Amino acid sequence: MSPRRHRPGELDAHADALVFFGATGDLAYKQIFPALQAMVAHGELQVPVVGVALNGWTLDQLKERARDSLAHSEHGIDDVAFPKLMSLLRYVDGDYGDTETFAELRRQLGKAAHPLHYLAIPPSLFGLVVQQLQASGCADGGRVVIEKPFGHDGASAKQLNETVTSVFSEDDIYRIDHFLGKEAVENLVYFRFANSFMEPLMNRDHIESIQITMAEDFGVDDRGAFYDANGTIRDVVQNHLLQMVTLLTMDPPSTWAPDPVHRAQLRVLEAIRPLSPDDVVRGQYRGYKRVKGVKRGSTTETYVAVRLRLDSWRWAGVPIFVRAGKCLPVKSTQVAIDLKPPPQEVFTEVFRRQSNAITFTIGDEMGISVSAKVFDPDHRQGEDVTLVAQRRPQPPLPAYERLLTDAMHGNKLLFSPEVNIAALWRIVDPILDDATPVHPYAKGSWGPADADHMVRHYGGWKSA
């Protein structure tokens, strides 16, 4: 059976039900219930919400799970929105391989004609669930939201896409990357394209190098089995960080709408050379192999540093360094753009190689800083100063609220099309798994020393 095609105007219809698979899981507990409550509070969720899982639970138990989730979240329980959410919540308990589970889901959906199905489940179950949705009629008129990682490599991503597109049309598939829903990531793009002074600098004539750091000061914890099967490259580089690279380096789109933005991102991805072993340093923090779920003798990386090269008119010759890791000294995500020094050193007494830099802090506390040199009259020489603009939302909106709201409305701006996913895998496929050795590093350090050699000609790694 081919994917159901929409009647004119039907595609833009607001979803009239939200189904989330994996309702009793960790992702639902930490992210989805806070997002659903926020959607209710902002008037964006007024349709049935159906949780699906196999746990032997009742609806009352799921409601208690939701209450506990929100009680432990930074947003807390909203005395108005929470009861409304509970009135919308329904539950189907059953195995994803059992047709009766999906027959009951169809009954719970009632008259809903445009359900949104969100798969907060392991990728290995995506194919089974979408086929069951089709067989039960639950896919008719609906959309599907799929969590990353979308595939394990380029070949598996292609196979998965063929399975999903046999049930849903490409227009109805939303490949989610929650990192793109963060306000600070949106702020980075806004700062770049909304200020006339910024864009003239964003090219090889003015920029020496770019660094992106995603540091976490904690380990794998209770995600040992999942993380050991994926590693840092699959977990954050192939998706979060390469997506950020596209937003930093793409040409200005004609409008801020899904198709022109996705095309601009794709042009960047197509210009990035596939990574080779010489471009990569992998590391693993000491003690990782003792984590529950990690295989004995594992060579999975918990740290990676890569050097990207863009073969484009705008960026030729500008290296982009990306590093990410666990058990590092701080929790911080940062973009540092180093500008080239002046062509001639008129003032020679204190000048070093680095001239100016623009730095973005990507996190709950959003910040933009510009380093510059000014004259110090007391010492009759130049000195470095940093101009900082900082803002901390109280508290930041959940990224999943933005993404699920957009999916409910049919807005695909922050969701990647299949061709972009394939381009992302093309870049990292050559360095997956054991293509390079994994170097041990101490917890609380900045990773293996080999990564420092990668940036030795560019002033070293910038502080995060």
- Among 148, 176, 204, residue at a domain's last position: 176
Total domains in the chain come to 2
Per-residue pLDDT tens digits for 73-128: 888 999 999 999 999 999 999 999 999 999 999 999 999 999 999 999 988 899 99
Note whether 254 and 279 are same-domain residues.
Answer: yes
Nearest Cα residue to 306 out of 109, 461, 138, 106: 461
Residue 1 confidence (pLDDT): 40
Question: Domain ends where: 153, 176, 199?
Answer: 176
pLDDT, one tens digit per residue, over 151-205 is 999 999 999 999 999 999 999 999 988 888 777 788 888 888 988 988 899 999 9
Give the pLDDT band of residue 399 (cuts 50, 70, 90).
confident
Helices (H), 23-116: 26-27, 33-41, 59-71, 81-88, 99-109
Whether pLDDT at 4 is above 60: no
Query: Do residues 325 and 367 share a domain?
Result: yes
Min mean pLDDT across 194-208, 354-368, 400-414 is at: 354-368
CA distance 421 to 339: 31
**pLDDT tier at 10, thresholds 50, 70, 90:** very low
Task: Give a yes or no: residue 9 inside a domain.
Answer: no
Q: Which residues are catalytic?
A: 240
Looking at the predicted structure, is the pLDDT value of residue 361 above 80? yes
Provide mean pLDDT across the span 353-373: 79
Express as a percent the part of the chain with pLDDT over 70. 92
Q: What is the pLDDT of residue 350?
A: 53
The pLDDT tens digits of the residues spanning 232-264 come to: 999 999 999 999 999 999 999 999 999 999 999
CB 250 within 8 A of CB 267: yes
Structure pTM? 0.90
Residues 245 and 372 grouped into a single domain: yes
Give the pLDDT score at 352: 55
Same domain, 191 and 321: yes
User: What percentage of the chain carries pLDDT values higher than 90?
Assistant: 73
Please say if the pLDDT value at position 27 is more than 80: yes
The CATH code of the domain that includes 91 is 3.40.50.720
pLDDT at 398 over 80: no
Quote the domain boundaries for residue 104.
17-176
Q: Are residues 130 and 196 in the same domain?
A: no
**How far from the centroid of its chain's Cα atoms is residue 326's Cα?**
16
Type of residue at 172:
D
Residue 168 and residue 132 in contact, taking contact as beta carbons nearer than 8 Å:
no
DSSP string, 251-320: PPPSSSSHHHHHHHHHHHHHHBPPP-GGGEEEEEETTGGGSTTPPTT----SEEEEEE-B-STTTTT--E
